[in-house]
Structure 1
Amino acid sequence: MIDTTTPFTVRFARLPRRGLLLGLSASRVACIAIAALVLIPAMFVASTLGAIATAPIWGALVALAFVRRGGRPAIEALPTAAHFGLRRASGQTKWRARPAKPRPAGTLALPGDAAAMRFLVDEKSGTAVLHEPHAQSLTVAAVVSHPAYVLLAPEEQARRVHGWGRALAGLAHRGTGTRVQVLEISLPDAGRGITGWWDTHGVKSRDQWAVREYEALMKTAAPAASTHRTLVAISLDLRAARTHIRQSGRGLAGAVACLRQEMTSFEASLRAADLRLVSWLGEADLAATLRQAYEPGFDKERFVPCRLESAGPMAVDEEWDHLRHDNAHSAVLWISEWPRIDAPPFFLHALVFQPGIRKTISITAEPVPADEAIREIRKAKVEYATEAAQKARIGALADLSDSVEASDVLDRERALIAGHADIRFTGLIAVTAATGADLEAAVAEVSRAAIQSGCETRRLYGQQARAFVAAALPLARKVN
């Protein structure tokens, strides 16, 4: 029985900030240790002059350990920067389509490591199935419709939240490693649908007060309207589901049959949460979805039928903090912190319904096997106890954040013991605009809307191309 006497709220755990020593990561500890190995002998040999002479070395190491770039210590961002520099030097940050050179049949025309993906069409359901050989996964996507959640009664909201939770828990308990990605695509709309309907069916009498008020409301609100589309992608882990695949038949055909069972079960669980699965995406619909992500002005009605072999972008240039593709610019933000206080389930309302900005909010949920989750919890408890002992030994004051994080770990353990599933989730926001200046303005507005929702966002640097594929495309890729 769902308790509706008190407001239904959710609270997220803090992002763990454990380290090797006193909250410092191994790379930061190494920098400090090397700096000490340089400074201390120099002071013993040449006193102050030795410290001054070696200052560029130990000073740079200390700066790498404590100076932050992009929300992270510089030493932790250094591998990403080095990798981006190598890719730029080798020309891997620029991608161009080659229409004169046809791609092999069954492959996708996507940049980066997504180019290794293959596709096939399930003969029984007509659904386009994406196969990623390196990650050993099969992925399908569907269009989902849902009512206006905020307008529902509190008890109905709580019931639907529990229904969605049961849907995720069902995927976790089946042991197939099925990953779920929810994409909320928001497109700016001039409101022509609203005004067009009014022009055709509306009452034209200006003498009525209701007519005047409605027309005034349309003039104010229609230009800032947005069109929303919700997609759900599920990805079957072929390694975790090998036992189920053997029961359905070996090889790729058996994997597709196993995935079909997952699709049926997931659709039933969505109905239990009062979500309607409109249709699984076939080749034409999935190709149009991929193309529209890279080219905002793409009209699938003009290009029928759409083919997955040519559904990628024509040109992509990856920069340090943004991505330029076809006729648009995009940037990807990572939701680094979720609300740490009790918040209603619709806490993302301000972010989702922010008008005038083209964006895609992607939340990827990956079930964690119970035995692996227990091992992670035990490791975390040992690390917290070790860090507390180290601080007590040197006389350092314990932070309240440490006790909060340790309490979150205990709450996670209690939930597992009670039979709940453990799920690892990641939130990304892909923001798209026509020009670079418009993109920066849109990113600033999205960051403010995230703060209103109780979230903190961090722009991803040096990995925008890979992040865009994970955030804007319904591929349910694993996010590291």
Structure 2
Amino acid sequence: MTTPDVRTYGNWRKPTSPGIRGLGLAGTLVMFVGLLLVMLMMFVSLFAALGLGVLVALSLVPLLMRDKHGRNGVQWFTARVAWSRGKTKGQHLYRSGPLGRVAAGTCKLPGLAAASRLYEAEDAYGRPFAVLTVPATNHHTVVLTCNADGASLVDSNQVDTWVAYWGQWLAQLGHEPSLVSASVTVEAAPDTGERLRQEVFANISPDAPKLARHVLNEVVHGYPQGSAQLSTRIALTYSGVARATGARRTAEEMAIELGTRLPGLSAGLQMTGAGPASPMTALELTEAVRVAYDPSVAGFIEQARSEGGTELTWDDAGPMASQETWDHYRHDGAYSITWAMSEAPRGEVFSSVLHRMVQPHPDIIRKRVTLLYRPHDPATSARLVERDRKDAMFRAKQAKVSNARDTVAVRAAEQTAQEEATGAGLVRFALLVTATVASADELKLAASAVDNLSAGSRILLRRAYGAQSAAFTAALPLGIVLPHHLKVPQVVREAM
């Protein structure tokens, strides 16, 4: 018998901006413009030129100061200023319900999803599915729920096959018309035991022996203790702007178009290990979001499902009250912290790199791990990989003595360009982790648990300081694309 080779994965690269000595494109332009002004000022006054040169040098210092997450001083300062301004205006507080400030006494979602609207339509197979519309960005999102197959007692060849098909499915998203982003949310939560209770009590025979009834009662009360419930949801976000004509399409038009694509997209997930995929209805999505903001209602919602349904509407999916602080987020009776990945694992990893990260943890009552994908179309992919290869070579040639990181970066950029030229897709990805606990005293314990999990996965996480509410919403399967909600254009952010 031969031992199969263990397959590893990697070769991802963080987008960088070309510049001199880590300044980036924006810092390099500021330096050259400043030097030009200093040279012109020397013809007027030497002391004025010296003072201008000092100002230019001081303006470049924040761009050179970077922490371990790659953020410079300008980004840190602007985040602090934006948080202070928002807190002064009271934007960190949210009150809804009959005594709140929301119109009609409803409990709409706070923050980025406040203006979202939920519709329901039918796909080509006649299955109802929810369409979530965000008017500010004209984005329309559909959510698929999956029963993912576990990797326990599964051959490594089968796992490699799942990963290969998942990569192929992501590559096909680059050819999907008007697709903006995709996200995969894996949520781990304690099992309430309500489904088991309803299943057992509904099938107990009235003539059953007393011993059998006693055993079943012990099973119902004891089995849910310590057990967890894992749910996997995939959100696909489309732009309402037609690619050919640029016309703005309505939610009804997008629902008809997405209804024809859902069967093919859900069928393609079966070979990826995601199991049977089906679109979520409007009620299912509403209930999932309601539980995320108030985990204490999970048992009541499952009980209401067994008794005919909750009849929740999208206007009732949000919290009654929420308060955002610099480092955590309080919503109803729960507290949450959200982290964002600042650096992917270096080198090569195995397919089980996120296994511990997505598993339930005893110190966290609800944990969500969300992978965000933004696929590029083939034309954009070809342009980006060539630019990335040139930028890597430019950085490597700046140093008199080449270092190992620059050499590896050049080799990885060249391999990416070759793979793209042979038909591989190019996808930007990010990761968000949300840990929810029942009290403020448990926040430190949850933060320590997430730090240990990220270290085991070789992922560098950064707490979303000053943006806990927005990061919490982006980690939900709602299709919120954060770069489209920022005031600073993406081109400027990448140049820094």
Specify which of 231, 234, 239 is matched with residue 233 of structure 2.
231
**Are residues 443 and 27 of structure 1, via their aligned partners in 2, closer, same or farther at CA, if it must alter by over 3 Å?**
farther
The structural deviation recorded for 1:406 is 2.3
Asked whether the equivalents of residues 189 and 360 of structure 2 are also in contact (C-alpha less than 8 Å), the reply is: no
In the alignment, is residue 474 of structure 1 matched against residue 480 of structure 2?
Answer: no
In structure 1, distance between residues paired with 2:348 and 2:63: 36
In the alignment, is residue 129 of structure 1 matched against residue 131 of structure 2?
Answer: yes
In the alignment, is residue 320 of structure 1 matched against residue 326 of structure 2?
Answer: yes
Which moves more between the two structures, 446-455 or 182-191? Answer: 182-191
The structural deviation recorded for 1:91 is 1.1
Match runs of 1:142-291 below 5 Å: 142-177=144-179, 179-189=181-191, 224-239=226-241, 251-277=250-276, 279-291=278-290
Partner secondary structure for residue 429 of structure 1: strand
Q: TM-score, normalised by structure 1?
A: 0.80
**Are residues 345 and 72 of structure 1, via their aligned partners in 2, closer, same or farther at CA, if it must alter by over 3 Å?**
same
**Are residues 166 and 57 of structure 1, via their aligned partners in 2, closer, same or farther at CA, if it must alter by over 3 Å?**
closer
**Are residues 315 and 372 of structure 1, via their aligned partners in 2, closer, same or farther at CA, if it must alter by over 3 Å?**
same
Instruction: Give the aligned partner of residue 381 of structure 1.
Output: 389
Asked whether the equivalents of residues 182 and 373 of structure 2 are also in contact (C-alpha less than 8 Å), the reply is: yes
The structural deviation recorded for 1:121 is 1.2
In the alignment, is residue 295 of structure 1 matched against residue 256 of structure 2?
Answer: no
1:181-234 CA deviation, whole Å, 9 max, x = no partner?
Answer: 111101135889999999x99xx9xxxxxxxxxx9xxx9x98654221111111
The structural deviation recorded for 1:452 is 0.7
Instruction: Give the aligned partner of residue 464 of structure 2.
Output: 460
**Are residues 161 and 64 of structure 1, via their aligned partners in 2, closer, same or farther at CA, if it must alter by over 3 Å?**
closer
Instruction: Give the aligned partner of residue 311 of structure 1.
Output: 317
The structural deviation recorded for 1:323 is 0.8
Instruction: Give the aligned partner of residue 351 of structure 1.
Output: 357
Asked whether the equivalents of residues 187 and 369 of structure 2 are also in contact (C-alpha less than 8 Å), the reply is: yes
Asked whether the equivalents of residues 339 and 454 of structure 1 are also in contact (C-alpha less than 8 Å), the reply is: yes
The structural deviation recorded for 1:144 is 0.5
One-letter code of the match for 1:177?
A: L
Q: TM-score, normalised by structure 2?
A: 0.78
Q: Structure 2: which 5+ runs fail to align?
A: 212-217, 484-496
In structure 1, distance between residues paired with 2:75 and 2:246: 40
In structure 2, distance between residues paired with 1:35 and 1:235: 43
Q: Structure 1: which 5+ runs fail to align?
A: 205-214
Asked whether the equivalents of residues 71 and 458 of structure 1 are also in contact (C-alpha less than 8 Å), the reply is: no
**Are residues 64 and 422 of structure 1, via their aligned partners in 2, closer, same or farther at CA, if it must alter by over 3 Å?**
closer
One-letter code of the match for 1:353?
A: Q
One-letter code of the match for 2:450?
A: V
**Are residues 449 and 274 of structure 1, via their aligned partners in 2, closer, same or farther at CA, if it must alter by over 3 Å?**
closer
Which moves more between the two structures, 290-299 or 274-283? Answer: 274-283
The structural deviation recorded for 1:398 is 3.2
Partner secondary structure for residue 331 of structure 1: strand
In the alignment, is residue 369 of structure 1 matched against residue 377 of structure 2?
Answer: yes
Instruction: Give the aligned partner of residue 490 of structure 2.
Output: none
One-letter code of the match for 1:477?
A: I
The structural deviation recorded for 1:377 is 2.2
In structure 2, distance between residues paired with 1:8 and 1:243: 45
In structure 1, distance between residues paired with 2:59 and 2:440: 33
Instruction: Give the aligned partner of residue 346 of structure 2.
Output: 340
Instruction: Give the aligned partner of residue 215 of structure 2.
Output: none
Which moves more between the two structures, 415-424 or 277-286? Answer: 277-286
Asked whether the equivalents of residues 34 and 61 of structure 1 are also in contact (C-alpha less than 8 Å), the reply is: no
Partner secondary structure for residue 152 of structure 2: helix
Partner secondary structure for residue 330 of structure 2: strand
One-letter code of the match for 1:414?
A: Q
One-letter code of the match for 1:226?
A: A
1:48-75 CA deviation, whole Å, 9 max, x = no partner?
Answer: xx99xx9999889747742649763322
In structure 2, distance between residues paired with 1:355 and 1:266: 32
**Are residues 194 and 346 of structure 1, via their aligned partners in 2, closer, same or farther at CA, if it must alter by over 3 Å?**
farther
Asked whether the equivalents of residues 149 and 275 of structure 2 are also in contact (C-alpha less than 8 Å), the reply is: no
Match runs of 1:24-39 below 5 Å: 24-25=23-24
Instruction: Give the aligned partner of residue 21 of structure 2.
Output: 22
Asked whether the equivalents of residues 389 and 417 of structure 2 are also in contact (C-alpha less than 8 Å), the reply is: no
1:380-417 CA deviation, whole Å, 9 max, x = no partner?
Answer: 233334334443xxx4x433212222222222211211
Which moves more between the two structures, 261-270 or 272-281? Answer: 272-281
One-letter code of the match for 1:163?
A: Y
Asked whether the equivalents of residues 31 and 56 of structure 2 are also in contact (C-alpha less than 8 Å), the reply is: no
Asked whether the equivalents of residues 35 and 59 of structure 1 are also in contact (C-alpha less than 8 Å), the reply is: no
**Are residues 319 and 337 of structure 1, via their aligned partners in 2, closer, same or farther at CA, if it must alter by over 3 Å?**
same
In structure 2, distance between residues paired with 1:350 and 1:126: 34
1:125-144 CA deviation, whole Å, 9 max, x = no partner?
Answer: 32221011222221111220
Instruction: Give the aligned partner of residue 13 of structure 1.
Output: 12
Residues matched between the structures, number: 445
Percent of aligned pairs sharing the same letter: 25
In structure 2, distance between residues paired with 1:456 and 1:191: 35
1:70-100 CA deviation, whole Å, 9 max, x = no partner?
Answer: 7633222111211111111111111111436
One-letter code of the match for 1:363?
A: L
Instruction: Give the aligned partner of residue 432 of structure 2.
Output: 428
Partner secondary structure for residue 269 of structure 2: helix
Instruction: Give the aligned partner of residue 208 of structure 1.
Output: none
CA RMSD of aligned residues (A): 4.1
Asked whether the equivalents of residues 373 and 429 of structure 2 are also in contact (C-alpha less than 8 Å), the reply is: yes
Partner secondary structure for residue 109 of structure 2: coil
Partner secondary structure for residue 340 of structure 2: strand
Asked whether the equivalents of residues 367 and 422 of structure 1 are also in contact (C-alpha less than 8 Å), the reply is: yes
**Are residues 4 and 182 of structure 1, via their aligned partners in 2, closer, same or farther at CA, if it must alter by over 3 Å?**
farther
Asked whether the equivalents of residues 381 and 406 of structure 1 are also in contact (C-alpha less than 8 Å), the reply is: yes
Asked whether the equivalents of residues 339 and 462 of structure 2 are also in contact (C-alpha less than 8 Å), the reply is: yes
In structure 2, distance between residues paired with 1:243 and 1:167: 27
**Are residues 477 and 241 of structure 1, via their aligned partners in 2, closer, same or farther at CA, if it must alter by over 3 Å?**
farther
In structure 1, distance between residues paired with 2:182 and 2:225: 34
Which moves more between the two structures, 459-468 or 11-20? Answer: 11-20
Partner secondary structure for residue 147 of structure 1: coil
